[in-house]
Amino acid sequence: MADEVLIRLRGVCKQYPMETGGSGRLRTIARLLAGRAYANPFHALRDVDLEVRRGESLGLVGANGAGKSTLLKTIAGVVRPSSGSVYINGRVSALLELGAGFHPEYTGRQNVFLAASLMGLGDDEIRARLDDMLAFADIGEHIDQPIKHYSSGMVVRLGFAVATCVRPDILITDEVLAVGDESFQRKCSAWMEDYLGEGGTLLLCSHSMFHIDKLCSKAAWVHEGAIRAYGEAQAVTRDYLCWHEARLAQARPGVGMQAAGLHAVRSLRLNGVDDSELALPMHGRLVVSGTVFAPDGRPPVVAVGFVRADGSSIYGLSSDMDGHVLRALGGNLFAFSLEIPDLPLLPGRYTVRGHAMDAEGLRLFDEVSRSLVVTGQTREMGLCRLPHRWLEE
């Protein structure tokens, strides 16, 4: 049962016509009516093979326009592939575009009935679960207003509330977490963790590597319509972030991953060293310091992680875990300085990462890395020295 394949895609391709102007569109329609292929197709998905088993959680990452939503829509049955096969085994609940499946003129309550019945629930079942759904959506009296007057966050709340009560075999969500406010994000995230704990299967598309790492066991990196990498979520998100870092470095030499308007680590130093590798003896004193840009002017959270050369995590912490507030420097910049007085890592090569997060410590925006070489001689094995002594018995 656990090994049961719930989603299988084989050689899935999706093409869209490229024509934009009026006459181009007419030509496209004429070609379709004549049963001919598009003249100048745009390949949104290229030969995608994918398998998701029961109980797996797969994150989709990729740049804007890479094809993630098209892939999710193809799996949800909203988009028909141009070629290839899609096999789905189980009840699917999909939270795709905002309000998809909702009728704008109906009230929230009417839409809940509509959406839940489309997902296969009978009237009695819906009535029995209605209070739970409304409690999850938590939009108060707006529930009896037409949803055309809802904010995007309220629409997502309603959509997610229906999904929670239907308890699908496969839950497909496209950037839902990005739309809700902080408390709703936490609620959704907690619900998804529960759902996965109970054996649910999740497909999550997000630009938040934090959420992908937190919620997904596997990840697929979609690049120009094809799967560029597939594997353990943390390994895939790491490669994807490195790719972005390299791309930005190419575009703006000397500048790390930063963008006006986004939280970003502006500098990261190991014992005051900014860019080159730091060599430090075992049990030496390490100070990780730097600055973080916060577009909203609120003190951001910084997370610091230690990673082995093969990418596996050794240790991570964030300023909010310790209740530490970053020092304001002015100009939306905030400084941090983390001391590790007695670094217990065994000799070897490591990466120290600084991640910029929002004030709530919920969304992770970027990552800057520095190399650290721990020097020394020892015959101990592993990654770090555990404090120990031998007892005389």
Ligand X SMILES: Nc1ncnc2c1ncn2[C@@H]1O[C@H](COP(=O)(O)OP(=O)(O)OP(=O)(O)O)[C@@H](O)[C@H]1O
Residues engaged in binding ligand X (CB under 6 A): 16, 42, 44, 62, 64-70
Q: What is the closest distance, in whole angstroms, from the C-beta atom of residue 40 to ligand X in the complex?
A: 12
Torsion sign (Cα): 340, 341, 344, 349: positive
Q: Which is nearer to ligand X, 62 or 300 (CB)?
A: 62
Give CA 168 to chain center in angstroms: 21
Question: What SS3 state is found at 161?
Answer: helix
Q: Which is nearer to ligand X, 64 or 377 (CB)?
A: 64
Q: Which is nearer to ligand X, 178 or 335 (CB)?
A: 178
Distance CA 239, CA 247 (A): 12
Q: What is the closest distance, in whole angstroms, from the C-beta atom of residue 176 to ligand X in the complex?
A: 13
Q: What is the closest distance, in whole angstroms, from the C-beta atom of residue 172 to ligand X in the complex?
A: 13
Q: Which is nearer to ligand X, 65 or 104 (CB)?
A: 65
Tracing tokens 């991953």 back to the chain, one arrives at 257
Q: What is the closest distance, in whole angstroms, from the C-beta atom of residue 14 to ligand X in the complex?
A: 8
Q: Is 185 in contact with 358 (CB distance < 8 Å)? A: no
Q: What is the closest distance, in whole angstroms, from the C-beta atom of residue 65 to ligand X in the complex?
A: 4
Q: Which is nearer to ligand X, 65 or 347 (CB)?
A: 65
Residue 350 structure tokens: 């490591």
Side by side, which strands form the sheet with 226-232?
Answer: 92-95, 170-174, 201-205, 57-61, 218-223, 226-232
Q: What is the closest distance, in whole angstroms, from the C-beta atom of residue 59 to ligand X in the complex?
A: 13
Q: Is 111 in contact with 147 (CB distance < 8 Å)? A: yes
Q: Which is nearer to ligand X, 60 or 116 (CB)?
A: 60
Q: Which is nearer to ligand X, 209 or 280 (CB)?
A: 209
Task: Work out the angle at residue 209's Cα, subtended by the Cα atoms of residues 2 and 135, and round it to the nearest 5 degrees.
Answer: 70
Question: Letter for the amino acid at 379?
Answer: R
Q: Which is nearer to ligand X, 4 or 49 (CB)?
A: 49
Q: What is the closest distance, in whole angstroms, from the C-beta atom of residue 240 to ligand X in the complex?
A: 12
SS3 of 5-62: the string is EEEEEEEEEEEEECCCCHHHHHHHHHHHHCCCCCCCEEEEEEEEEEEEECCCEEEEEC
Select from 102, 96, 99, 101 the least CA-distant residue to 174.
96
Q: What is the closest distance, in whole angstroms, from the C-beta atom of residue 364 to ligand X in the complex?
A: 17
Q: What is the closest distance, in whole angstroms, from the C-beta atom of residue 324 to ligand X in the complex?
A: 33
Distance CA 190, CA 185 (A): 8
Select from 344, 383, 373, 375 the least CA-distant residue to 276.
373
Q: Which is nearer to ligand X, 69 or 369 (CB)?
A: 69
Distance CA 203, CA 219 (A): 9
